[in-house]
Amino acid sequence: MHTISFLKLLPLPSRTTTRRSTRKIVVGDEGEKEVSIETPAFAATTGKRAQVSMVRRNVETQFEEEEIENEKKIFPPILLHWGLLNGERRKKCKSERTSAEKFGDLVALVDPYHDPPTNMTYKQLEQEILNFSEGLRVIGLKPEEKIAIFADNSCRWLVADQGIMATGAINVVRGSRSSVEELLQIYSHSESVALVVDDPVLYNKISETFHARATIRFVILLWGEKSSIKDVATAEIPIYGYNEITSMGQESHMALLHSEDARKQYICETICSDDVATLVYTSGTTGNPKGVMLTHENLLHQIKNMWDIVPAMPGDRFLSLLPPWHAYERACEYFIFTHGIEQVYTTIKNLKEDLQCYQPHYLISVPLVYETLYRGIQKQLSMSSAVRKLVSLLFLRISLAYMESKRIYEGKCLTKNPEQPFFLVSVFDWLWARIAAAILYPLHMLAKKIVYSKIHSAIGISKAGISGGGSLPSHVDKFFEAIEIKVQNGYGLTESSPVVAARRPNCNVLGSIGHPLKHTEIKVVDAETNKDLPYGSKGIVKARGPQVMKGYYENPLATKQTLDENGWLNTGDVGWICPHHSIGRSRDSAGVIILEGRAKDTIVLSTGENVEPEEIEEAALRSSLVQQIVVIGQDQRRLAAIVVPNKEEILSEAKRLSKVESDAFEVNREILTSLLHEELRKWTSECSFQVGPILVVNEPFTIDSGLMTPTMKIRRDKNTLMKLRTSLLPDKPDEAAWAALLSTCRRVGKSEMGVRIASHPLELGPEVPSALCIAI
């Protein structure tokens, strides 16, 4: 009798299956022997055929597996086993090392603004995640259960996020600034069983409502002390501090798991590729909530393929600024911690100082941050002496001209024309651009040494800035290109985990969102017929790939409207794809995607915040002073509104407040605007966003005027606003202010097209420019 001892495996969750396999083994010199062995289905699979690798001392095994139908691919937690990507178990053990094993003593994160300030190496971070995960198991969290995380950006958010995933549970995420009703709606709709909250302040805020209308098994505080919680909030619900959970996990490991390898193996075996990892809600408090179900495979696709966009090296430093529950920031964090990069947590308040203090290699943020940096630089130039200002502006114009010439001769311009340009014209164009660039290059380098080097030192970004979550203004894009700070623009949606396309370092075509990620397909279809359009034709952008969501939680109708039977995601955006040219200005721009607006009513601010205008409009219309209202603000920093007042009610209210004489027949515009501002502030105070500047018009929107559709929907495109300017405005507004107002409107004419794919605000936006505050 020959005894065969394999590595003992820990018990698996009940949903994990076993398989019977016939194995041929070679034992010493006695030749092959055939044995039948039952093994757990823990290995990754390719198609229907599994490859299981088991360890045995002094025994070589060769085996064939029976085909198993409907088999799942097994994944580990994202940060613990970065080597298992895309469902493929690597043959070499080296590629299966965890981030801690590969980058152990490198600094993983720095969190200087929480109490206590925290620094962790990769080894410490992994151990913290393992302890938190085991602590959750100790207090009863089970695989596939849902637990809500209502918290802001911090190192403990990351630990909680990964710890929950490691248990096989699903986290439901949102920030602490959301309204109580919105948090309750998300908690209830997701069928969450427990809460992880930022601190006692947040729990005190939501506790009364949640106790009355939700079932909570337990609560975990990431920061702060339990003693700060109100007595009423502690009734009958266990409340744990962060340190309590990690301590319980550590004790459990010591008692039950004697091997660190076994502990990691246990965690690895609980998670499958198509298991839902997280629910991210994209709707506000109005309408049916839509919880985007993102799987482990969705998230791992981002990790594996983002290096083409951000070729960061171990030891590089990133600044973390955005809310971690936002899909954009979240995917970036996962990428960071699987490549040995150091992440420093910062805030809007401390960004300026931290850029100089930490000198990050990369900054990942929304367009507003780059706009703010741009305005800050312009302000500094305007405050300089006349000579210095003149020299700086002259150098900037030279650099802009140089970069324009460089784009032409490098073939990185954009065109919609599918026809090849004439050869001789292209050669002359290339030669002229090359000569112009050669002339301007010495002056550009002089400007870089005299002026731009100081800007580089102040901003501190040594490799690149990555912009996503909104449209990057072209003047900001060109400015940073001119001063040689690389800014790469990307594009995606929560429903796509989120990135589907981005500009690469070696193909950073301005005005575009770059090429699709690996394994991602993008096409443009006709809005009416849904037929594919050729390159250069404008239509609705659709995407397909491993990063596309599993669907909306408990909302099959919305899923069907957004995802077709072939897996194509309707992004709701209008754009086109640059045609391929072998010569000419766009020869190296073939295949890049250009977005021209949105085919849906959702407004995307320059901060990356997504706004559903109907919520605000419905709230405002509850006021008797407002007859009609249109909320606008696409690609701007704040919302504006066009308001049709109820003249009779306005006059009555003005008399009641003694703002006009009792026998007055009308209200002057200053009083009218003031009353409407106060009324909007009152009725929209509970909305996620408030309106800033308003434009008052005297006549209502009608179908006859062309300002409403036949279905009685107010049009939101620029052509409609031009009609409004000529037909409804009593006086001609200031041209600059009117241009600024037009820039906030929809860029396409059919607001009915597409689907609503919103995400929660990033809560970063300052005031809008005064140019929008139109005096009427």
Q: Does 361 share its domain with 390?
A: yes
Q: What is the pLDDT at residue 95?
A: 41
Q: Which residues, in sequence order, are bridge partners of residue 395?
A: none
Question: Do 472 and 545 belong together in one domain?
Answer: yes
Which of 565, 599, 633 lies at the terminal end of a domain, its last residue? 599
Across residues 699-708, what is the average pLDDT?
Answer: 69
Contact 540, 598 (CB under 8 A): no
Instruction: Please say if the pLDDT value at position 734 is more than 60.
Output: no
Q: Is residue 712 part of a domain?
A: yes
Residue 697 is part of a domain; what is its CATH number? 3.30.300.30
With bands split at pLDDT 50, 70 and 90, how would you rate the model's confidence at 632?
Answer: confident
Q: Is the per-residue pLDDT at 181 higher than 50?
A: yes
Evaluate whether residue 178 is within a structural domain.
yes
The CA distance from 266 to 16, in Å, is: 12
> pLDDT, tens digit, for every residue of 10-22?
233 333 333 344 4
Confidence class for position 401, pLDDT limits 50, 70, 90: very high
- Contact of 257 with 8, CB cutoff 8 Å: no
Q: Quick one: 582 and 614 in the same domain?
A: no
According to DSSP, the residues that pair with 294 across neighbouring strands are 278
| 536-568 pLDDT, tens digit each | 999 999 999 999 999 999 999 999 999 999 999
> Could you tell me if 39 and 182 lie in one domain?
no
Mean pLDDT taken over the chain: 79
CA atoms within a 13 Å half-sphere pointing along the CA-CB vector of 88:
8
Which CATH number belongs to the domain containing residue 564 in this structure?
3.40.50.12780
Q: Is residue 409 part of a domain?
A: yes
Domain final residue pick, 273, 299, 328: 273
Q: What is the pLDDT of residue 666?
A: 82
Last residue of a domain, which of 532, 564, 599? 599
More confidently predicted of 500 and 666: 500
Overall number of domains in the chain: 4
Residue % of the chain over a pLDDT of 70: 74
Question: What CATH code is carried by the domain that includes residue 153?
Answer: 3.40.50.980
Structure tokens at 746: 């929809």
Confidence of residue 652 (pLDDT cuts 50, 70, 90): confident
Q: Rounded to whole angstroms, how far apart are CA atoms 688 and 284?
A: 8
User: Per-residue pLDDT tens for 118-136?
Assistant: 999 999 999 999 999 999 9
Same domain, 623 and 560: no
Per the structure block, which two tokens stand in for 195? Answer: 């809460």
pLDDT at 41 over 50: no
Pair (406, 529) in one structural domain:
yes
CA–CA separation, 13 vs 663, rounded Å? 80
Q: Tokens for 109? A: 């994160």
Instruction: Supply the pLDDT for residue 16.
Output: 37
Domain of residue 553, residue span: 342-599
- The listed range with the strongest mean pLDDT (154-158, 579-583, 620-624) is 154-158
Claim to verify: residue 542 and residue 614 sit in the same structural domain: no
- CA 763/CA 138 separation, integer angstroms: 36
Asked if the structure places residue 302 within a domain, the reply is no
Q: What are phi and psi of 373, to 5 degrees?
A: -60, -40
Compute the distance between CA of residue 472 and CA of residue 368 in angstroms, rounded to an integer.
Answer: 8
**Total H helices, total E strands in the chain:** 21, 31
280 within some domain: no
- Mind listing the pLDDT tens digit for each residue in 712-724? 456 665 555 555 5
What is the reported pLDDT for 172? Answer: 98
Pair of tokens at residue 234: 């502690």
Q: Are residues 441 and 572 in the same domain?
A: yes
Asked if 715 contacts 708 with a C-beta cutoff of 8 angstroms, the reply is yes
602-622 pLDDT, tens digit each: 787 877 777 878 778 878 887
Is 391 contained in some domain?
Answer: yes
Residue 58 is assigned to a structural domain of this protein: yes
Q: Which band of pLDDT confidence, cut at 50, 70 and 90, is reported for residue 771?
A: very low
- On whether both 417 and 467 belong to a single domain, the answer is yes
Higher pLDDT, 133 or 24: 133
Residues 655 and 739 in one domain: yes
Instruction: Output 225 or 633, whichever has higher pLDDT.
Output: 225
Whether the predicted pLDDT of 47 surpasses 70: no
Cβ–Cβ under 8 Å, residues 701 and 707: yes
Do the bridges between strand 146-150 and strand 170-174 make them parallel or antiparallel, or are there none, so unpaired?
parallel
Q: Are residues 263 and 169 in the same domain?
A: yes
Looking at residue 711, its pLDDT comes to: 40
pLDDT of residue 419: 93
What is residue 235's predicted lDDT score, i.e. its pLDDT?
Answer: 65
- Asked if residue 592 and residue 622 are part of one domain, the reply reads no
Residues 584-594 have a mean pLDDT of: 95
More confident residue, 584 or 65: 584
